[in-house]
Amino acid sequence: MIYPTLRATVRNGKIQLLNDIKLPENASILVTIMDENSMSILTAGERLAEGLQDILLGRFAEVNTPEEMSAHLDTVFGNS
């Protein structure tokens, strides 16, 4: 099943959904990290297109554990 775009934030190294929705255990998710400026300027369709373009160009990382996610977010946000 494909879900609509959900807003989320990162708190204490974990992704926290801002929408009140239950996801099935072990659901695969596509995360596109955007700053607040991009969120306010781009439409939902443009944000999705940007994320899909990154996938087509190979600009993505697949993570499978909380440790991998934490390390990836540290890299993205320059905390390493």
Instruction: Please list the pLDDT of the chain residue by residue as tens digits (80 residues).
Output: 566 778 888 888 788 888 888 888 887 777 777 777 887 898 888 888 888 898 899 988 888 888 888 888 888 777 75
pLDDT of residue 80: 56
CB 47 within 8 A of CB 32: yes
pLDDT of residue 57: 94
pLDDT of residue 56: 92
Instruction: Give the distance from CA 17 to its chain's centroid.
Output: 10
Question: Residue 40, class by beta-carbon neighbours within 10 Å (0-12 exposed, 13-18 middle, 19+ buried)?
Answer: exposed
pLDDT of residue 3: 61
Write out the two tokens for 50. Answer: 């940007």
CB 6 within 8 A of CB 21: yes
Length of the chain: 80
Q: Token match 């400026």: residue?
A: 37
